[in-house]
Amino acid sequence: MPNALQLEGVSKSFDGYKALSDASFTVKWGEVHALLGENGAGKSSLMNIAAGLYAPESGHLLIDDNPVRLKGPADAARERIGMVHQHFKLVKPFSVAENILLGLPKRAGSHRARLLETERLVAEKAAEIGFAIDPRQTVATLSIAEQQRVEILKVLLAGARILILDEPTAVLTDQEGERLLSTVRKLARQGAAVVLVTHRMSDVKRFADRVTVMRGGRTITTLDPAGIDIAELVKLTVGESPSLPEHTRNEAGPVRLQVRGLRSPERGGRRILSGVDMDLRAGEIYAIAGVGGNGQSELANVLMGLPEPCEGEVQVDGLGDLLSASPAQRRELRIAAIPADRYGLALAGNLSIADNFAIGQVHNGRYGGFWRLREGVVRADTRAAVERFDVQGARSPGQKAALLSGGNAQKLVIAREFSREPNIVLAHSPSRGLDVRAGAAVHQRLLAARDAGAAVLLISEDLDEVLALADRIGVMSGGRIVAEFERPADRQAIGKAMVDHA
């Protein structure tokens, strides 16, 4: 049987930076092939070439052992290659079905008839996979996890036989991820070829037939994951595995942030936020666990000052009503915000690393006025922060932020938000899509902020992350906190609370 997809001797540079150097990768029909590597190892760049988004500077791409030249994503789609990107490519004002219709071949009939047919197809495929998705719901109202499901449905319904999934389970619960990967493996057994770009070693061990490891833009090795344990796999990928420091529950200080009766307007007879009550104390990490789509994103938006209609009270120590606070007031209170969508909400990719870093203190005059920045001070502070927070791939303060890998982009966000020692940290899925090393670095920053006296709110759908970091855990379901647990918390009890109230 011919190979499904081969990339041989591929090289690619961005702004003088060598992202890929003689990299190779092969996936066969009927297999799930995992692709591992640290953030910035070149995995996404290599797969973006396979999906027609980038053109290689050298090397070859073959499909069914035949050389192919892709001039763009449309050519890749005609070759039945579909990629689900880690950072979503959805039109937020459109419905789920409208977004998926954009990626389907044009058929005869009116737009309304084609939309109705797409709604039917979405409902059928969602039910088959086990996704709870309303085809008519607007994407802007969906949680991060739900948007990920839409992207997966979009590729499957477009008829791709070579599926490239970039961190597909990063925003799914364990059960949802297992269901999805079981479906993906079934598709492979039916003849498809699946590339699984992931940092979850357990997913590789359980669902991959082969695994390829990349480092520094090069292919290091390809092997059978059944013949290697997770510790060895981690070491191959990132060297010695960094460990999270052991910590016991802190003695919490005074309440820094208090939420009472937070409700959003009714939509279709239900409220996304239906009465959230929560206290966030100095010197503790309070984590919110729960299945995606239960109001976590909306709560994060409210607390971070993003537009989200709601009623209720959010009181913050030193100010009072947080809901009416300006961005400048939030900065003066030293509230650090790390949103789940780092590229859409935390960084301006087309601006420089220096511009993205400096925006956090432009209001207080450190860098001069809006119309006349003190460029020398900005560059010096940016270089110091890049070094302190280990933002790799940042070759100069003038480099575009979009050229940073996911993990290093997240480090830049944290460097800016922690440029003044924070009193309150609001972090939503801070390690989503990051490799082991980058994720550990984020966790260590959150623990250090807590130990320095900050009140830290962690919203995460990764229960391992919650259990590792939290001093207290609140379970969110149906738009409210339904149960709370003290450290050390019982995983099964938390899971039961998540399910019983779903």
> Is the pLDDT score of 229 beyond 70?
yes
Assess contact for 415 and 389: CB atoms under 8 A. Answer: yes
Domain ranges of the chain: 3-238, 253-334+422-502, 344-419
The pLDDT value recorded for residue 144 is 67
Q: Which class is 3-238 in CATH?
A: alpha beta
How far apart are the C-alpha atoms of 303 and 417, rounded to whole Å? 15
Q: Is the pLDDT of residue 352 over 70?
A: yes
- Distances in Å between the alpha carbon of 108 and those of 31, 159, 240, 243? 35, 18, 57, 57
Instruction: Tell me if 3-238 shares its fold with 253-334+422-502.
Output: yes
pLDDT above 90 (res 147) = no
pLDDT tens readout for residues 373-398: 788 888 999 999 999 888 888 888 99
Q: What percent of the chain has pLDDT over 70?
A: 92
pLDDT at 426 over 90: yes
Distance CA 460, CA 289 (A): 6
Torsion of CA 448, 450, 454, 456, to 10 degrees: 120
Which residues make beta-bridge pairs with 289? 475
3-state class (DSSP) for residue 110: coil
Q: Which residues contact 244 (CB under 8 A, 6 or more apart)?
A: 440, 443, 444, 447, 468, 469
CA dist 334 and 245 (Å) reads: 26
| Residue 295: predicted pLDDT | 87
Greater pLDDT, 376 or 499: 376
Q: What is the pLDDT of residue 255?
A: 94
How many CB atoms are located within 10 Å of the residue 458 CB?
26
**Mean pLDDT across 274-280:** 94
> Which has more confidence, 412 or 89?
412
Q: 269: left (phi > 0), else alpha (psi -120 to 50), else beta?
A: left
Mean pLDDT, rounded, for 5-16: 88
Which pLDDT value is given to residue 502?
Answer: 47
Amino acid 15: pLDDT: 63
CATH superfamily ID and name for 253-334+422-502:
P-loop containing nucleotide triphosphate hydrolases (3.40.50.300)
Main-chain phi, psi angles of 114, to 5 degrees? -70, -35
CA angle 225, 230, 235 (to 5 degrees): 100
Residue 268 above 70 pLDDT?
A: no
CB under 8 Å to 502, separation ≥6 — which residues?
291, 294, 477, 478
CA quadruple 307, 313, 316, 319: dihedral sign: positive
What's residue 251's pLDDT? Answer: 74
- Confidence grade of residue 249 (pLDDT, cut at 50, 70, 90): low
pLDDT digits (tens, 9 = 90+) for 472-485: 999 998 889 999 99
CA angle 125, 128, 131 (to 5 degrees): 80
Integer CA distances (angstroms), 274 to 278, 287, 291, 301, 316, in order: 13, 19, 16, 15, 21
Q: Which of 232, 198, 195 is nearest to 37 (CA)?
A: 198
241 pLDDT band, cuts 50/70/90, is very low
Instruction: Specify the pLDDT at position 242.
Output: 47
3-state class of 254 per DSSP?
coil
Q: What is the mean pLDDT of the chain?
A: 86
